[in-house]
Structures are given as C-alpha cells and as structure tokens.
Amino acid sequence: MLSAMLRRFHLTSFIFLAVAALAPAGCERRGGCTGPNCGTLIDAAVTEPPTLLPPSTEDIVANDIGEQLFLKLADVGMSTNTVGDEDFQPLLAQKWEWDGPLTLVFHLDPRARWQDGPRVTAADVEFTFNAYTDSAVGSPFRPKLHRIASVTQRDSLTTVFRFKEKYPEMFYDAVYHMRILPAHLLRPVPRDQWKTAAFGRQPVGDGPYRFVRWQAAQSIELVADSTFFLGRPGIRRLIWRITPNLQVAVQQAIADEADVREQLVTPDNVARARAAPQLSVYPFRGSVYTLLLFNLRASDDTTKPHPIFSDRTLRRALSMAVDRASLVKSALGDLGKVPPGPMSELLGIWDPDIRQLPFDTALAARILNGQGWRDHDGDGIRDKDGQPLAFHILVPTSSVLRRQYARLLQEQFRALGVHVEIDELEPSVVNQRAATGKFDTIILSRQNDPSPSSGIAQSWTRAGFGGSNFGRYYSADFEQLVDRAVTATSRDQARALWRRAMETVNADAPGVFLYALENVGAVHKRIENVQFRPDSWAALLRTWRIPPDRMIDRDRVER
C-alpha cells in the first residue's frame, strides 16, 4: 500500500516538475523598458535572405531589412508616382536641382553618418553607382541603371548624375534602385566576392536601424539608432522571424507570436486574421500579377514556331474562352482583380478601360471552326490534320493558388474542345524549363516595381529573349510604343502611349492575364501610424509607433 502510494507520488511529482519546468517559459517575462522609445515589432517572414548587401540580391526580405539599414538619396511617395521628381521624398539628399536637361545635382544632408562614425559623402554615392554597374558585382539592378552615364562628386556633399538621354523617369532611375553603401568599409572587398562578403551578414548602414544579430534560419534583429538624423524611429526593436512557409507565418501572427504578416495572400488567411482579436488588416495595392503564358516557340526547338501558339488567331480564340472575372471571383473573392494587361495594380498605367479581348466562348468556337479546328473524330477534342488541339500547362507545386487555377483553366478549355494536361513540378524545375523554353504554357506570377519601363520591356520585348521574355513574344508595333512611352516628355503622353502598348499586347494575346492580387497585411492593433507603401511595405516602418499605454511584455525588453 505504502509502496503503491510512493510510486504514485513519484509519478505525480514527476509530472508536476515537468509541467513546472515548462509552464513558466510560456508566461514568465523579463524587461523594464518604459516610455515612448520602447517597443518590439516581430515580422513573420517566409524567406531568409541570402545576404543583406543591397546590390547583391533582390530577395524581398533583404529589401525590407535594407529599407531600415541603408538609405536611398530619395524615395517614391505613397502615390508611387515615378514620373518627374515632385512626388519623391528626400532621404540622404537634403535637396536636388537640375543643371540642364541631362544633369541632376544632389546635395547630401550633412547630418547623415555611417553607424560606425564617418560622415556619408558624395564619394560614397559615386562608389555605390560604380559598384552597382560593375559586372563583377553582377547586381540584378544593373540593367535598370543603363541610362545613367556617370555619377561624380563635385564636393564632399554634392554629387552629380549625368544621363545619356532625357526621359520622364530620370529621377526615379537615379534614386530608386540604389541604396548608398559605405565606401570605407566595402572598398577593400574584391567586387567579385561581394555576393559572399562577410559584410552581407553583418552590415553597417546609415539608416534608422542598426544591425544586431542574424540567427541563421531563426531571426534577424535590428535596433533603432537613437541618433538617426531624420529622427528617432518610433519602435525600438525590429525582428524578422524566419519561418519556412506562409501558413506557419500566418499562424504566428494569429497566435500573437508575431506582430506583422505583410501579405496574407489567400481569402482564408484574411478571414482568419480578421477573426483574431489583436490583429487589424490593411489592404493595399498589390505588385504581382499572374498570367497563363503561351510559348510562341516550339518547346523542343526555340528556333521553330510553336505548332499551336505561333498562330495569333488561335491564341486570341483561346484567350476569349477564359472567363477571367468568374475565375477571380471563385478563387480570390475580393482579393483579386482581372488585370487590364500584363501589369499589377501598383503601376500608374493600370486602367480597367484599356481595351481587352472579350470573354466570348461562342466567338472563340467560331474562330476555331473557321481555322479548321473541329472535332472530326467525335472524341470531344478538336483536331486538325490529325493533330489534336492539346497542350500542357506548367505550374509550380509551391503555389496552391496557381495549381487551383490550372484546374479551373483545364475545365474551361475542355468546354471549348481543347485538351489540357497539367504538369505540376518543383519551382526549380519550372524555372529551368521556363528559361530554356521547354513548355507549352506556364502559369507565371510576375512582380512589378513602380515603373512599367524596365519590367515590361524585359518581359515582352526582344531585349528579354534569353531573359525573362520566356514565351518569346515579339511585336514591332508594341516595341515602338514602349520605346516612345519610356522616352516621352510628359506624364500624360507617356500614359497614352503605355495604354496603346497594352492594347497592342492584349490584341496579340501572348498570354491570358489571369489575376492581380490585392495585398492585405495583418498588423497588431497596439501599433499606431501604420502605413504600407504599396511597392515596399516596410519603407515607412520608422514612423510606426507603439503608445506606452498599449505596450506588452515584449515591448519592454531591455538588452
């Protein structure tokens, strides 16, 4: 009896001790920071950047962190207008002026300093331009700077940009793509080793936040620079908590283990975030659109035309058979829109009135019949000269939404008598096949920066052959319109030319422009002054704040 009691006691004690050892970890908190300059913001990030050295990566989290560490000369405003310079906000540059049609002069703010002490000078700006345009660095931003002839220093705080030609987005090109780098720290590092430089894992910047630590596969932490020349940031500590997938990231925000999830992506996630009592949701213009891209070249030999998609009339018929509006409604609800061309809503040229092909299955069927594509053998699939009207859709396994769309498209094409097979493959395989032209069609998502100039030219003109014009679309009319739009002298003229260019590409139907995602971010309700700039949600993080009376345990941590 006694031994039985003792045994039971031992078991009970063990369970109690185990619970006691673990439970306080969930509720015990430390920290004594008080006042307005405390606060911690945790972002649930879904990728880990390869490096934090700005010219070496286009990674989205690296960009978000780069916004806090390295300043640009100036940056776009909330309007994201990229034409002219009137909507731009000064950062490192206190002011600027035009010295003739091709020369732009920046005057640096004398208060700006690198976090290790030295002043930010025009030599840093010159060094930065040379680095971004150096082929040894291999920066993905290099092609976007090709219209700038040179960057020189007039004196220690004055820098001069000279352009090769006059065009509406000269100022945008000068300031948007480059974050100014510390020449005194990076000059000794050989340029061809920048991608792997130690600086990329322990950066020193001039921005509102300083780098603290990078715990591989776990988190990256920054702390506010109380001496930042444009004013002390509102939140003391920023942490990017790295998780390998979106669902866990959303769960962390819902479970109050993260304060921000900047993109919820699916209607289900938005509904869950709305139901979480501590979260507010913020819709903002999306920068991504998705399309079904037709390969105009044979998938086994890019020198030959594709047996189906090289035919413009047939492409138009297939495009007309897709009910894009109802697809968006059923898959995305209010979270998506039908794009009026190859663009996201971020672009200023977005206009629902741009002429597009209609959804008209009867007309599509008549066109196919007229072309000789009929169901001669009664198997439900159209054929011509013994060749069935059939193709494959390539889609990455990583995207639930695009896989869903592939099935919906398959069904809509089946109703027209077109046989579609879906190839769901790993992203790296999809990438390889896209780059080498080994596909019939592919469901792609493309990200826009605020200007149409570089992205659209790269994706839809001959300049993108062997690059990101995977379908090898070419139209002389379109290219001429794009060239004229890029070099137009006024905003209205550029807008009109872009509209005509979009209508040209829509009429040629090199793809079906399926949906443009509306972004919805979730942020903890205790955070005030939340502003999401559409092209970069973290651009204005330094102005967010947490009122002292709303702070929670993690805001008061002091290290």
The reply on whether position 218 binds other proteins by CB under 8 A is yes
The reply on whether position 415 binds other proteins by CB under 8 A is no
CB of 80 to other proteins, least distance (A): 19
Stretch that binds other proteins, among 6-14, 54-62, 125-133, 360-368 (CB under 8 A): 54-62
Q: Smaller CB distance to other proteins: residue 167 or 214?
A: 214
Cβ atoms within 10 Å of 2's Cβ, excluding its own: 6
Interface residue with other proteins among 280, 445, 487, 493 (CB under 8 A) is 445
Distance in angstroms (rounded) separating the CA atoms of residues 442 and 434: 8
The reply on whether position 237 binds other proteins by CB under 8 A is yes
Stretch that binds other proteins, among 306-314, 342-350, 427-435, 483-491 (CB under 8 A): 427-435
CB of 531 to other proteins, least distance (A): 24
Distance in angstroms (rounded) separating the CA atoms of residues 187 and 195: 14
The reply on whether position 557 binds other proteins by CB under 8 A is yes
The reply on whether position 13 binds other proteins by CB under 8 A is no
The reply on whether position 466 binds other proteins by CB under 8 A is yes
Distance in angstroms (rounded) separating the CA atoms of residues 515 and 270: 18
Bridge pairing between strands 390-396 and 419-425:
parallel
Distance in angstroms (rounded) separating the CA atoms of residues 108 and 229: 12
x/- contact string, 17-46, with other proteins (CB under 8 A)?
----xx-xxx-xxxx--------x-x----
The reply on whether position 257 binds other proteins by CB under 8 A is yes
Q: Smaller CB distance to other proteins: residue 372 or 467?
A: 467
Bridge pairing between strands 387-388 and 383-384:
antiparallel
**Alpha-carbon dihedral sign for residues 257, 222, 233, 63:** negative
Residue type, 131: A
Distance in angstroms (rounded) separating the CA atoms of residues 328 and 336: 6
CB of 553 to other proteins, least distance (A): 8
The reply on whether position 248 binds other proteins by CB under 8 A is yes
Q: Name the packing angle between helices 476-486 and 452-460 (round to 10°).
A: 160
The reply on whether position 371 binds other proteins by CB under 8 A is no
In the range 84-103, which residues lie near other proteins by CB under 8 A?
none
Interface residue with other proteins among 91, 108, 131, 239 (CB under 8 A) is 239
CB of 266 to other proteins, least distance (A): 16
Distance in angstroms (rounded) separating the CA atoms of residues 467 and 431: 12
The backbone region for 398, taken as left when phi is positive above 0, alpha when psi lies in -120 to 50, beta otherwise, is: alpha
In the range 136-165, which residues lie near other proteins by CB under 8 A?
138, 140, 143
Interface residue with other proteins among 243, 263, 295, 519 (CB under 8 A) is 243
Q: Smaller CB distance to other proteins: residue 123 or 185?
A: 185
Contacts of 249 (CB under 8 A, 6+ apart): 44, 45, 46, 243, 258, 261
CB of 298 to other proteins, least distance (A): 19
Give CA separation, 387 vs 304, 356, 415, in Å: 18, 30, 18
Q: Smaller CB distance to other proteins: residue 254 or 320?
A: 254
Could you tell me which of 83, 101, 174 has the C-alpha nearest to residue 452?
83
CB of 360 to other proteins, least distance (A): 29
The reply on whether position 437 binds other proteins by CB under 8 A is no
CB of 138 to other proteins, least distance (A): 4
Residue count, binding to other proteins (CB under 8 A): 67
Give CA separation, 10 vs 3, 18, 96, 245, 265, in Å: 10, 12, 77, 42, 51
User: The tokens of 398 are what?
Assistant: 């990583």
CB of 137 to other proteins, least distance (A): 9
Backbone angles phi, psi at 500, to 5 degrees: -65, -40
Q: Which residue has the tokens 């879904």?
A: 46
Residues 108 and 94 sit within 8 Å (Cβ to Cβ): yes
User: The tokens of 481 are what?
Assistant: 């319109």
Kindly list the residues in this chain that would bind other proteins in the complex (CB under 8 A). 21-22, 24-26, 28-31, 40, 42, 50-51, 57-59, 135, 138, 140, 143, 192, 195-196, 200-201, 213, 215-219, 221, 237, 239, 241-245, 248, 251-252, 254-257, 396, 425-435, 444-447, 466-468, 554, 557
